[in-house]
Amino acid sequence: MKRLRAFYTLVFVVSVLAMVLTAGRGYAAELQPMKVSYLPIIDLLQIYVAWEKGFFEGEGLKVEGQAVQGGAVSQTLVESGSVDLGWTAVIPLSQAHVKGFRFAFIAPGAFTDTTNRSLVSIVVKKDSPLKSVKDLAGKKIAVNGINSINHLSVLSIADFHGVDIKGLKFLEVGFPMQPAAIREGSVDAASMNQPFLAGAESEGVVKQLYPGFYPPEIAPRYMVSSWFAKKETMDKNKDKIGRYLRAVSKASDFINKNPDQMPPIAAKYTKLDANLIRKVTLPKFFSKVQKKDIQVQIDLCAKYGFIEKGFDAKEIVADFITLE
Residues 6 or more apart in contact with residue 307 via CB below 8 angstroms:
94, 95, 98, 298, 301
134 domain residue, yes or no: yes
Q: Residue 4 falls within a domain, yes or no?
A: no
Q: Is residue 43, in this structure, part of any structural domain at all?
A: yes
Same domain, 165 and 309: no
Which among 262, 230, 242, 316 is positioned nearest to 49, based on CA atoms?
A: 262
148 and 206: one domain?
yes
Omega before 259 cis (within 30°)? no
Q: With contact defined as beta carbons under 8 Å apart, do 298 and 311 qualify?
A: yes
CA 88 to mean position of chain CA atoms: 7
Residues 166 and 301 in one domain: no
Helix (H, G, I), strand (E, B) or coil at 162: coil
Find out whether 171 and 143 touch, Cβ atoms under 8 Å.
Answer: yes
Residue 80 reports pLDDT greater than 60 = yes
**Are 181 and 173 contacting, i.e. CB atoms less than 8 angstroms apart?**
yes
Short-list 42, 48, 116, 95, CA closest to 304: 95
CATH code, domain carrying 193 = 3.40.190.10
Give me the domain span that covers residue 156: 117-211
Q: Comparing 67-81, 137-151, 165-179, 199-213, which segment has the lowest mean pLDDT?
A: 67-81
The pLDDT value recorded for residue 22 is 40
**Do residues 63 and 93 share a domain?**
yes
Q: State the virtual CA torsion across 198, 112, 308, 107 in degrees, nearest 10.
A: 120
Evaluate whether residue 12 is within a structural domain: no
What's the whole-number mean pLDDT along residues 127-137? Answer: 97
- Same domain (yes/no): 57, 177: no
Q: Which one of 194, 211, 228 terminates a domain?
A: 211
Tell me whether residue 189 is in a domain: yes
Q: What is the mean pLDDT of the chain?
A: 90
Pair 251, 47: CB distance under 8 Å: yes
Return d(Cα 128, Cα 136) in angstroms, integer. Answer: 11
- Residue where a domain terminates, one of 177, 194, 211: 211
- Please check whether residues 241 and 275 belong to one and the same domain: yes
Cα 139 from Cα 224, distance rounded (Å): 26
Residue 23 is assigned to a structural domain of this protein: no
Alpha-carbon gap, residue 292 to 92, rounded angstroms: 17
193 and 254 within one domain: no
Residues 43 and 123 in one domain: no
244 and 305 in a common domain: yes
Residue 160 shares a structural domain with residue 234: no
On the question of pLDDT at 125 being above 80, the answer is yes
Query: What type of residue sits at position 135?
Result: D
Position 6 in a domain: no
Per residue in 212-258, pLDDT (tens digit) is: 999 999 999 999 999 999 999 998 999 999 999 999 999 999 999 99
Mark whether 85 and 127 lie in a shared domain: no
Single out the residue of 205, 252, 196 nearest to residue 227, CA to CA.
Answer: 252
Residue 228, phi-psi category: left (phi > 0), alpha (psi -120 to 50), beta (remainder): beta
Domain count of the chain? 2
Which pLDDT tens digit goes with each residue over 16-60? 334 434 444 334 458 999 999 998 889 999 999 999 999 999 999
- Provide CB contacts within 8 A for 312, sequence distance 6+: 295
- Rounded Cα distance between 40 and 119, Å, is 16
* Boundary-marking domain end, from 143, 176, 211: 211
Give the range among 22-26, 276-280, 306-310 with minimum mean pLDDT. 22-26
In contact, 248 and 38? CB cutoff 8 Å: no
**Do residues 168 and 186 both lie within one domain?**
yes
What pLDDT was estimated at residue 24? 41
Q: Is residue 1 part of a domain?
A: no
pLDDT of residue 29: 58
The three-state secondary structure class of 36 is strand
